[in-house]
Amino acid sequence: MKHSFLEALENRRSYYSIGAAMSVSQQDIVKTIDRIMLATPSAYNSQSSRVVILFGIHHICLWGIVKQTLAKIVTPEAFIGTREKIDNCFAAGCGTILFYEDMKVVEQMKVDFATYADKFDTYAEHTSAMHQLAIWTALEDMGFGATLQHYNPLIDTQVAEQWNIDKSWRLIAQMPFGTPLTTPGTKAQHLPLNERRLVFSD
């Protein structure tokens, strides 16, 4: 990593203007994500998180599906801005990561640990969130800009059919990434830390 973990986390931002140029190979991106998936914890070691990495024409195809889906449910006037955002912000990048949770695994955990059965859907969300943040931070450290999008469940069926995704996988989020073309705006003002954390010590 170019930075310490905390530095990379602090540098992580949402980039809405990205390009398709790549200074890191696809293979290195995949290797980094593989390492993250092996290192990221999950409740009861369920290992329920799944990712699909789309490069090139597959990445472009995804955002085509998003546009086609939204064109059916928004007004033509509203779709003009929607299409521009997708084309210039998301599809313009070099790849997209799809985050899934394997519900077959989650359902089995409910059986194996019945006392906590009502908690495993929440645990799965926690596991996915950890993978999302870890991968987003790693992409930032590799010089990419990314955002986290949620066009699910609108696109779930078409995406599953396009890439033959296992029916037990539930789509959680989409993360388009690419080379940053502009600097993000100023971060929103942080709430005072004394309103967000408590410390008790001897």
Domain ranges of the chain: 5-195
Band (pLDDT 50/70/90 cuts) for residue 1 is low
pLDDT tens-digit map of 74-106: 999 999 999 999 999 999 999 999 999 999 999
pLDDT tens-digit map of 168-178: 999 999 999 99
| Other CB atoms within 10 A of residue 85 CB | 12
CATH of domain 5-195: 3.40.109.10
How buried is residue 195: exposed, middle or buried, by Cβ count under 10 Å (0-12/13-18/19+)?
Answer: exposed
Per the DSSP assignment, residues forming a β-bridge with 97 are: 53, 175
pTM: 0.94
Give the single-character DSSP code of 95.
Answer: E
